[in-house]
Amino acid sequence: MTKLNKHILIPLVIASIAIVIFWIVSLTLNSVIVFIPGVIVSYLLYLNTFYKKTPNPERILPLYLLALGIQFIHFTEEYLTDFTIEVPKLLGREEYPLDYWLVFNMVAYFVFIIGGIILFKKIKELMIIPLFFILVGVLLNSIGHILISLYVGGYFSGLYTALIYIVIGPILIKRVLDETKVVKMD
């Protein structure tokens, strides 16, 4: 496998596995289905960012880790405000099994911690993992919570910490784009 193929194929395999996992998880936690388009967008953005240039971790990693820490607090807010009841109710479904939801999130956070190590070690072909967290775990999560709160006309589980992400998400995306911009020489 050539170096070029490795940097395209490994993230594609990771994306494919993630899609299958999210589809399986969505059979119980139906709202997880929205992560599948997020994986596809993450892969496409990877091809236009990290694939072209590995970023300086000093520019992205501190904010990434801050966002990950906020994600733990966000998860706590969701837990304390009955996310596993409120989201399914909104979708006309039965409440999510709490144990299943907890395990899914803890495994996801473990993977996102690995994403921080990937950024630190500059492992290009695995950069889709931290990119997925930035796009879906931070930005889409924030937008989703805010839109649902607007839809229900008030607070919805996870809104307060999602508001923090509406600031951090765009900054993280800008840093990714700035750090991976390839300067063309004339």
The rounded radius of gyration (Å) of the Cα atoms in the chain is: 17
Six-digit token string for 178: 């700035």
What is the chain's length?
A: 186
pLDDT per residue over 12-45, tens digit each? 999 999 999 999 999 898 888 889 999 999 999 9
One-letter amino acid of 103:
V
**Residue boundaries of the structural domains of the chain:** 3-180
Calpha distance 55→77 (Å, rounded):
32
pLDDT per residue over 82-95, tens digit each? 999 999 999 899 99
Global confidence as pTM = 0.92
From the CB of residue 83, how many other CB atoms can be counted at a distance below 10 Å? 23
